[in-house]
């Protein structure tokens, strides 16, 4: 049986940074499920489909193929035969992913892909509903969060490093809106699984968070 670690939490909590480091230390494959929702969102943006138009999205869903491959240990996301790993990182794609991940046709399309990956290999999978819906039997479940202020400041610093002009108040507003949407949707909302360990990284270093999760994994092995 494969060993599964689920990490859920709001946008900007540092899930992917942490999960990649834990994966490296423990020899797991890192699966970023947000990237799958982003690939579908990119397809819909290119087709100029409105995020509100559920029936148009449902009618297009079977035209979309999302594949996950690994290159030197790094996850690559393929959309209809095109590697879109970099293109899906834009802010607009993330917002579209949040808006369109509310639909059951979108979620059910990705569920089996995610469960198949975890059944075959030891994975650390991050997202919003991994501990609650995708991998309810995961050996370790983490709910990783941080205050809105901390998450906005981290995002601001990242954008500053890339010389992107931005306003911290706009970032905070964006984070609050995304949190609300992800936590209040009808299907598989973001919430802490009953058996998940809460880790608030607001006042923790990356190393401290990684060590905390690694020790929980070792305990359950």
The site for ligand DC (CB under 6 A) is made up of 11, 33-34, 37-38, 94, 97-98, 101, 127-130, 178, 182
25 and 19 Cβ atoms separated by less than 8 Å: no
Whether the CB-CB separation of 40 and 97 falls below 8 Å is answered with yes
What is the three-class DSSP state of 70? strand
Query: C-beta of 139: minimal distance to ligand DC in Å?
Result: 18
Question: 179 or 218, CB closer to ligand DC?
Answer: 179
In the complex with ligand DC, which residue's Cβ is closer, 128 or 151?
128
Separation of alpha carbons 65 and 84, rounded Å: 12
Closest CA to 76 of 29, 112, 128, 121: 29
Please, what is the end-to-end C-alpha distance for the chain in angstroms? 12
3-state secondary structure of 207: helix
Pairing, β 74-79 against β 66-71: antiparallel
Least distance between ligand DC and beta carbon 175 (Å): 10
Give me the least distance between CB of 169 and ligand DC, in Å please: 20
What distance in Å separates the CA atoms of residue 115 and residue 209, rounded to the nearest whole number?
26
Q: Where do we find the tokens 């205050």?
A: 147
- Of 28 and 151, the one with the shorter C-beta distance to ligand DC is 151
Minimum separation from the CB atom of position 36 to ligand DC (A): 7
Rounded alpha-carbon distances, angstroms, from residue 34 to 38, 51, 165, 166: 6, 17, 25, 23
Q: How far is the CB of 127 from ligand DC (least distance, A)?
A: 2
| Of residues 92 and 218, the one with the C-beta less far from ligand DC | 92
Distance of closest approach, residue 218 Cβ to ligand DC, in angstroms: 25
* Residue appearing with tokens 């949707």: 185
In the complex with ligand DC, the residue whose CB is nearer, 177 or 218, is: 177
- Compare residues 13 and 217 and give the one whose CB is closer to ligand DC: 13
């Amino acid at each position: 049986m494969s060993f599964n670690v689920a990490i859920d939490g709001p946008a900007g909590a540092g899930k992917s940074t942490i999960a990649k480091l834990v994966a490296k230390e423990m020899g797991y494959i890192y699966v970023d499920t947000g990237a799958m929702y982003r690939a579908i969102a990119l397809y819909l943006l290119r087709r100029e489909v409105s995020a509100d138009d559920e029936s148009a999205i449902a009618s297009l869903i079977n035209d979309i193929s999302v594949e996950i491959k690994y290159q030197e240990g790094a996850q690559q996301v393929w959309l209809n035969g095109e590697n879109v790993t970099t293109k899906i990182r834009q802010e607009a794609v993330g917002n579209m992913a949040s808006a369109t991940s509310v639909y059951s046709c979108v979620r059910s399309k990705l569920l089996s892909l995610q469960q198949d990956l975890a059944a075959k290999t030891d994975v650390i999978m991050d997202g919003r509903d991994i501990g609650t819906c995708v991998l309810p039997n995961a050996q370790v479940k983490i709910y990783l969060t941080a205050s809105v202020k901390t998450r906005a400041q981290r995002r601001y610093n990242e954008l500053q490093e890339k010389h992107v002009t931005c306003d911290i108040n706009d970032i905070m507003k964006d984070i609050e809106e995304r949190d609300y949407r992800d936590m209040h949707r009808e299907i598989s909302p973001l919430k802490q699984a009953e058996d998940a360990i809460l880790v608030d990284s607001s006042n923790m270093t990356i190393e401290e968070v990684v060590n905390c999760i690694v020790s929980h994994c070792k305990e359950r092995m």
